[in-house]
Amino acid sequence: MNESRESHLTHGRRQRPTGASPVDVITVQSQLVYGYAGNSAAVPPLHMLGIRVAAIPTTLLSNTPFYDTLRGMMLPVDLFSDLLRGASERGLPQRAKALVSGYFGSLDNGKVFADWAERILPQAPGLRYVLDPVIGDTHTGPYVEAGLEKVIGERLLPLAWLVTPNAFELEQLTGMPASQESDAIAAARVLLERGPEWVVAHSIEGEPGQLVTLAVGKEVVYRWASPYLPVDVAGTGDVLVALLLAFILNGEPLPKAVSRAIAGVHAALETTLQKDVEELDVQSAPAAALEQVDRFPCVVLK
């Protein structure tokens, strides 16, 4: 920020309280004007569940790339770096309970975030890092710059408490097949060897007409099955992670938090189909997650 602009924006306040405002989650993801993906999908359900959020954008885009026009840009690396620096200057890592990262888009932004995370996490022992390794999907292939998966796998994964890949991302991070349940469990165990305590893998193929979600820990595997719904919208993974984290921060054990998160995402997809709208009905997810904890029961595999 140049000096003239900084002097214009920085000023005193005549009556300024001295207490720091509470922050529960720092979420570093994309941001949209229209539609739901990244922070634009994650922040509303977090707020609706009483979670206080500091949202740092990696992009400012008009919409997802599913439309015939796309405006805006990935944040230039110097601007993104400046926002991370500002979060540190306000002491957010020391006050927050969780840090989430999602879509970086560019390799440079991924590297800058890794630099920042490697620096601040040792200084914030109460901050648990949730890594959503956004790389791509089975039906789209990769949609980030080449080399970003290496930054995620080699620098961010060892820092994470929880990592939440879809089947495609699990394959990209391990070099192993992961579309089928047994393969996904084996691949998730490889990720565990690199640092995280938990891998929550989603969009795994189950029985015909079903999708499977797996929570793989060092000593146990939990499994959920939910019906496949014929709707392709952005933001489902972002909402899943947001709901999961909200319930963990509110004291739920991980298996119950995952059960609630799956119920919330599934209800949002059902509502999207019922309303026949082109974007995920994000606001229907938190209520369903609260009310439908037993809709998709957890099965303990080991």
Q: What is the pLDDT of residues 64-123, one digit of tens each?
A: 998 999 999 999 999 999 999 999 999 999 999 999 999 998 999 999 999 999 999 999
Whether the predicted pLDDT of 175 surpasses 60: yes
- DSSP per-residue letters across 109-126: HHHHHHHHHHHHGGG-TT
The 10 Å Cβ neighbour count of residue 122 is 10
Mean pLDDT, the chain, integer = 94
For residue range 273-294, list pLDDT tens digits in order: 999 999 999 999 999 999 999 9
Domains in the chain, start-ordered, CATH in brackets? 22-300 (3.40.1190.20)
And the tokens for 209?
Answer: 């007409």
Residues 104, 106, 109, 111, Cα dihedral to 10°: 100
How far is 300 from 222, CA to CA, in rounded Å? 5
Given a contact cutoff of 8 angstroms between Cβ atoms, the answer to whether 238 and 282 are in contact is no
Q: Which of 95, 103, 111 is nearest to 61 (CA)?
A: 103
Contact 84, 58 (CB under 8 A): no
Residue-wise pLDDT for 199-242, tens only, equals 999 999 999 999 999 999 999 999 999 999 999 999 999 999 99
User: How many Å apart are CA 129 and CA 253, to the nearest integer?
Assistant: 17
**Is residue 3 predicted with pLDDT exceeding 60?**
no
- pLDDT category at 33 given cuts 50, 70, 90 is very high
